[in-house]
């Protein structure tokens, strides 16, 4: 375990406990999207294991003081996967059950896409793809200027890598040797209209990042032991930015959503919700 | 008469802010042109050059602002527009105090031609909630207003000009300027001429020429386009009864558009708009271009006569 989380060691969850927390989050994700009759379950379910490990075991954030200036930052660049973020913020005490019921509702604090102005614990107003890595660079530069050891984590989607701004930011992070910037790519292989490689062939995503000068690791993004090891690896890289390509399954955990482009942005109906909750029981 | 370029005022304004350790400067390869390089040379540790990547620059600035810093990001006015959606979603929407400076605004930019001549920047930034939009007329007023942005808690866009025009202020008068308040440079009761940027000196020349015809014009430096100084416009409605707006920008959506919107909703009065008439510029000397495109002091005189005749 890295030094930065020593003080949290007593409350660290083992992989079995993380898997259990992620299962609870998955149930909240499908219920949120079902209640709102809209939203993005697929990319929330693919990302939730990583979010769970980060929030439960690594991020120095405090639900009693969500605006603490010296907190770690988590930038969810694929902001439509908001049910995943709201679920883990609920799991870790930032949001109440009632807050989750406000998802996509008029006046609710859980906006359709994650928004730092509406939701405690959200560090970035996302929704338009390709912007989060740049924002994360700004947060990481600020930490360096402050002389703080706080860390900025960013999660990107793989379809999102089609945005040119991602690669502007990828160049800048290496040029400025930003060692306190850590990135996960949720490589779930599906985007809005279809499979990523049918929309725009990505070839070797890891090779793209290493070609830009990043330190790169690839993992199974649903294996908690591998996720935990990858977080330790990210923390060990301090001379420049590092990225974990997490191979995931869109809709992971709900059989009819898995690897199904339809559930990028569609809500389950009543019967489908019932089946999903049975599978996630 | 002293000639000066407002872009130099931006560079001097940044230098006036070096004492504030929260001020950081971002560039996208054009620091030599926007004059942010002066700050970079003095404080390289607080200056971030991001290469030719305006979209990235806007969001890096937003991230810094979210952590309590005061980012000043500059490039050519036209290239800020490449990051427009980034400004909209990443800066203005969360109301992060990022201060964008677009230099080389308007067709007065000159010989580079139409690709470099922004004529819509004031309009598009004015349309964003939370944004303040300014276009000062000389170096000293740009410097003073830039320094004021150091304690401004919402985002802004300031357009500067490449080429030198007549200096309007001295250091003392520039220091009295306030964001959002027009600056009366000349008082007259026949027509109110509201101008910004390089057109302010043209408006003063036009007012001199009008005086020779027995016409007394008020001239206002409307360095702030948004928020519009509605109180001043209301007073001028009573005092003058007709208006001319002058800007090196499209007549659609900029200063003329803002004044037209306000007058039509409050006290409809004759308004003539001097500006680019919904087309692109071309290569040429800045002064030649202003004349060819209907924005010389003579054009302002004619517009003032038209406005008065319509009272």
Q: What is the pLDDT of residues B132-145, one digit of tens each?
A: 999 999 999 999 99
Q: What is the pLDDT of residues A161-172, one digit of tens each?
A: 999 999 999 999
On whether the CB atoms of residues A167 and A191 are closer than 8 A, the answer is no
* Residue A27 forms part of a structural domain: yes
Q: Is A138 within 8 Å of B51 when comparing Cβ atoms?
A: no
Chain A residues with CB inside 8 Å of B128's CB?
Answer: none
What are the domain boundaries of chain B? 3-166, 183-309
- The CA distance from B299 to B311, in Å, is 19
Q: Is A168 within 8 Å of B53 when comparing Cβ atoms?
A: yes
B211 touches chain A (CB under 8 A): no
C-alpha gyration radius of chain B: 18
Chain B residues with CB inside 8 Å of A136's CB?
Answer: 63
Q: Distance, in angstroms, between B61 CA and closest chain A CA?
A: 6
Q: What is the pLDDT of residues A80-89, one digit of tens each?
A: 999 999 999 9
- The CA distance from A243 to A234, in Å, is 7
* Residue A270 forms part of a structural domain: yes
> What are B23's strand-pairing partners?
B70
* Residue A99 forms part of a structural domain: yes
Q: What is the pLDDT of residues B84-128, one digit of tens each?
A: 999 999 999 999 999 999 999 999 999 999 999 999 999 999 999
User: Residue B310 above 50 pLDDT?
Assistant: yes
Q: Distance, in angstroms, between A273 CA and closest chain B CA?
A: 33
What total number of domains does chain A contain? 1
* Other Cβ atoms within 10 Å of B206 Cβ, number: 29
* Mean pLDDT rounded to a whole number for chain A: 96
- Average pLDDT (B160-185) is 97
B285 touches chain A (CB under 8 A): no
In total, the C-beta contacts within 8 angstroms joining chain A to chain B are 104
To the question of domain B3-166 being in CATH 3.40.50.10890, the answer is no
Q: What is the pLDDT of residues A62-100, one digit of tens each?
A: 999 999 999 999 999 999 999 999 999 999 999 999 999
Q: Which of residues 79-98 of A touch B (CB under 8 A)?
A: none
Q: Is A145 within 8 Å of B60 when comparing Cβ atoms?
A: no
Distance, C-alpha B63 to centroid of its chain: 26
Per the structure, the complete domain to which residue A94 belongs is given by 13-279
How sure is the predictor about B292, in pLDDT bands with cuts at 50, 70 and 90?
A: very high
User: Residue A52 above 70 pLDDT?
Assistant: yes
Domains B3-166 and B183-309 equal at CATH topology level: yes
* Residue A6 forms part of a structural domain: no
Q: Which of residues 107-126 of A touch B (CB under 8 A)?
A: 115-117, 123-125
A236 touches chain B (CB under 8 A): no
Looking up tokens 């060990």 gives A236
Determine the residue among A73, A134, A156 to mutate to test chain B binding: the one whose Cβ has the most chain B Cβ atoms within 10 Å. Answer: A134
Chain A residues with CB inside 8 Å of B69's CB?
Answer: 142, 145
On whether the CB atoms of residues B290 and B248 are closer than 8 A, the answer is yes
Residue A218 CB burial class (10 angstroms; 0-12, 13-18, ≥19): middle
* Residue A1 forms part of a structural domain: no
* Residue A70 forms part of a structural domain: yes
- Average pLDDT (A240-267) is 97
Question: Under CATH, which architecture does the B183-309 domain have?
Answer: 3-Layer(aba) Sandwich (3.40)
Count of CA atoms in the C-beta half-sphere (13 A) of B187: 3
Residue A9 pLDDT: 59
Q: What is the pLDDT of residues B31-84, one digit of tens each?
A: 999 999 999 999 999 999 999 999 999 999 999 999 999 999 999 999 999 999
* Residue A244 forms part of a structural domain: yes
Chain B residues with CB inside 8 Å of A139's CB?
Answer: 63-64, 66-67
Q: Distance, in angstroms, between B200 CA and closest chain A CA?
A: 37
Q: What is the pLDDT of residues A114-132, one digit of tens each?
A: 999 999 999 999 999 999 9
pTM (two decimals): 0.96
Residue A11 pLDDT: 81
CATH of the domain at A179: 3.40.50.970
* Residue A203 forms part of a structural domain: yes
User: Residue B274 above 60 pLDDT?
Assistant: yes
How sure is the predictor about A8, in pLDDT bands with cuts at 50, 70 and 90?
A: low
């Amino acid at each position: 375990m890295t030094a930065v989380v020593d003080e949290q060691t007593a409350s660290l969850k083992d992989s079995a406990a993380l898997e259990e927390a992620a299962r609870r989050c998955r149930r909240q994700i499908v219920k949120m999207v079902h209640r709102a009759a809209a939203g993005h379950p697929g990319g929330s379910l693919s990302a939730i294991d990583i979010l769970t490990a980060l929030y439960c075991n690594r991020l120095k954030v405090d639900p009693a003081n969500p605006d603490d200036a010296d907190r770690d930052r988590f930038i969810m660049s694929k902001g439509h996967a908001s049910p995943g973020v709201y679920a883990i913020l609920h799991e870790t005490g930032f949001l109440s059950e009632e807050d989750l019921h406000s998802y996509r509702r008029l006046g609710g604090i859980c906006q359709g896409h994650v928004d730092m102005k509406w939701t405690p614990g959200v560090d970035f107003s996302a929704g338009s793809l390709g912007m989060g890595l740049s924002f994360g660079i700004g947060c990481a530069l600020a930490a360096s200027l402050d002389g703080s050891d706080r860390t900025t984590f960013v999660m990107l989607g793989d379809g999102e890598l089609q945005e040119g701004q991602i690669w502007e930011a990828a160049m800048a992070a290496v040029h400025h040797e930003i060692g306190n910037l850590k990135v996960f790519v949720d490589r779930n292989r599906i985007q809005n209209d279809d499979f990523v490689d049918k929309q725009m062939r990505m070839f070797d995503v890891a090779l793209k990042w290493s070609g830009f000068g990043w330190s790169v690791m690839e993992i199974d993004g649903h294996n908690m032991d591998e996720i935990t090891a990858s977080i330790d690896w990210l923390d060990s890289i301090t001379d420049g930015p590092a990225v974990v390509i997490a191979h995931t399954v869109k809709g992971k955990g709900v059989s009819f959503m898995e690897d199904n482009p339809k559930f990028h942005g569609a809500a389950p109906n009543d019967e489908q919700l019932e089946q999903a909750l049975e599978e996630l029981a | 008469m002293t000639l000066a370029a407002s872009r130099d005022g931006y560079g001097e304004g940044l230098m006036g802010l070096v004492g504030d350790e929260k001020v950081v400067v971002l560039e996208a390869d054009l620091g030599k042109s926007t004059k942010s390089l002066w700050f970079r040379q003095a404080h390289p540790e607080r200056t971030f050059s991001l290469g030719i990547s305006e979209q990235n620059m806007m969001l890096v600035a937003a991230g810094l602002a979210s952590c309590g810093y005061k980012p000043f990001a500059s490039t050519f006015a036209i290239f800020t527009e490449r990051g427009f959606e980034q400004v909209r979603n990443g800066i203005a929407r969360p109301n992060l105090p990022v201060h964008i400076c677009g230099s080389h605004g308007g067709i007065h930019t000159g010989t580079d031609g139409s690709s470099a001549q922004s004529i819509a920047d004031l309009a598009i930034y004015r349309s964003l909630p939370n944004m303040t939009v300014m276009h000062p007329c000389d170096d000293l007023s740009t410097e003073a207003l830039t320094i004021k942005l150091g304690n401004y808690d919402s985002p802004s866009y300031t357009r500067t000009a490449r080429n030198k025009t007549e200096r309007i202020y001295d250091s003392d008068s520039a220091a009295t300027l306030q964001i959002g308040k027009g600056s009366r440079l000349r008082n007259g009761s026949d027509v109110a001429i509201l101008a910004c940027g390089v057109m302010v000196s043209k408006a003063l020349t036009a007012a001199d020429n009008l005086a020779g015809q027995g016409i007394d014009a008020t001239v206002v430096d409307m360095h702030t386009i948004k928020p519009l100084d509605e109180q001043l416009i209301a007073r001028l409605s009573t005092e003058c009864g007709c208006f001319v707006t002058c800007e090196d920008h499209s007549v659609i959506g900029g200063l003329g558009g803002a004044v037209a919107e306000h007058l039509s909703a409050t006290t409809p009065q004759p308004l003539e708009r001097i500006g680019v008439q919904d087309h692109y510029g071309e290569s040429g000397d800045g002064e030649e271009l202003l004349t060819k495109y209907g924005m010389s002091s003579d054009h302002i005189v004619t517009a003032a006569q038209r406005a008065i005749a319509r009272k």
